[in-house]
Amino acid sequence: MLPPVRQRCLPIGPAHCATLSGMSDVIFREAVRADLPAVIALLADDVLGRTRDFTEVDARYEKAFADIDADPRNQLIVADADGELLGCMQLTYIPGLGRHGAERQLIEAVRVRSDLRGQGLGRQMITWAVDQAKQRGCALVQLTTDKTRHDAHRFYLDLGFLPTHEGMKLPL
């Protein structure tokens, strides 16, 4: 039996706690509806995000959040320091027939607040996500990153991710 996915508070543990800019320990937890404006701001706080995301909550974001929150295979995770959101990511657990019926974890929408980038929070977030995948018994973790995000490519390579596939998208 797989460990439960639905937990509201997901502390990263003493070995992974972060103190950034004098803030107390950072915890990773599932987002709640009240976090939505801050998450949207994080998504838009990015060169590509500015062209794809708005800074105000509208019905589309409300529906997407409700759908993610209701789906036990999806988690919208936030990095929280004393109620201040420093980062976010979405984790999706995908069942499959490949690899002998193995489940995989997909990491998407990874963002760290722009003034905190390069201080180790992103590394802690991904390390924590990979640990969650291991605890669930996932066979692999996968992610995609835009081809123009060269810093992100270096970051993920440094964390042990390999560029094994060529991803494609079809805008609708």
Q: What is the CATH number of the domain that holds 37?
A: 3.40.630.30
pLDDT at 73 over 90: yes
Please report whether residue 45 resides in a domain: yes
Q: How far apart are CA 114 and CA 5, in angstroms?
A: 29
Please report whether residue 94 resides in a domain: yes
Please report whether residue 164 resides in a domain: no
Number of domains in the chain: 1
Please report whether residue 1 resides in a domain: no
User: Which helix (H) or strand (E) element contains residue 171?
Assistant: none
Q: Whose structure tokens read 């291991």?
A: 134
Q: Which two tokens stand for residue 167?
A: 């991803």
**Cβ atoms within 10 Å, residue 108:** 14
Residue 75 is part of which domain span? Answer: 9-158
Cα 115–116–118 angle (5° rounding)? Answer: 115
The percentage of the chain sitting over the pLDDT mark of 70, rounded to a whole number, equals 81
Please report whether residue 62 resides in a domain: yes
pLDDT band with cut points at 50, 70 and 90 for residue 48? low
* Sign of the dihedral defined by the CA atoms of residues 65, 139, 95, 132, in that order: negative
